[in-house]
Amino acid sequence: MKETDDYLPAPLCLFDDLADPGSLGVERDGEMLMVIRQGARAYVYVNRCPHRGVPLEWVPDQFLDSSGRLIQCASHGALFLPENGECVAGPCAGTFLQPRACHIGNGQVWLD
């Protein structure tokens, strides 16, 4: 019997499917994630507010504030920097979203 690797990694999404700025909610291995696009960069975080432990969006795939510049928790309005996940306003100021390392390859967003 030949041994094979049954697990083949899959991209989280196509980079060009994300608006700029834009966001998308995805699930990977039972973990809820959010993919955030800012220009030519993509960032991936666990979709969980560090203050309340709840998902950040009320509407699917909408994680950004009205400016498109900050990640916003729909539960209490906390604002996070896409570049590092730091909360810069709200009850959890100074805490961070949980990052997941990612890269863009072949026009797709991948977890590292």
* pLDDT of 7 over the 70 cut: no
Please tell me the predicted confidence (pLDDT) of residue 8. 66
pLDDT digits (tens, 9 = 90+) for 54-105: 999 989 999 999 999 999 999 989 999 999 999 999 999 999 999 999 999 9
- pLDDT higher at 100 or 9: 100
The answer to whether the Cα torsion of 5, 7, 12, 14 is positive or negative is: positive
Domains of the chain: 13-111 (2.102.10.10)
Exposed e or buried b for every residue in 38-59, given b needs 16+ CB within 10 A? beeebbbbbbbbbbeeebbbee
Instruction: Enter the pTM of the model.
Output: 0.91
CA 41 to each of CA 11, 26, 62, 82: distance values in angstroms, whole numbers, following the listed order: 15, 17, 18, 10
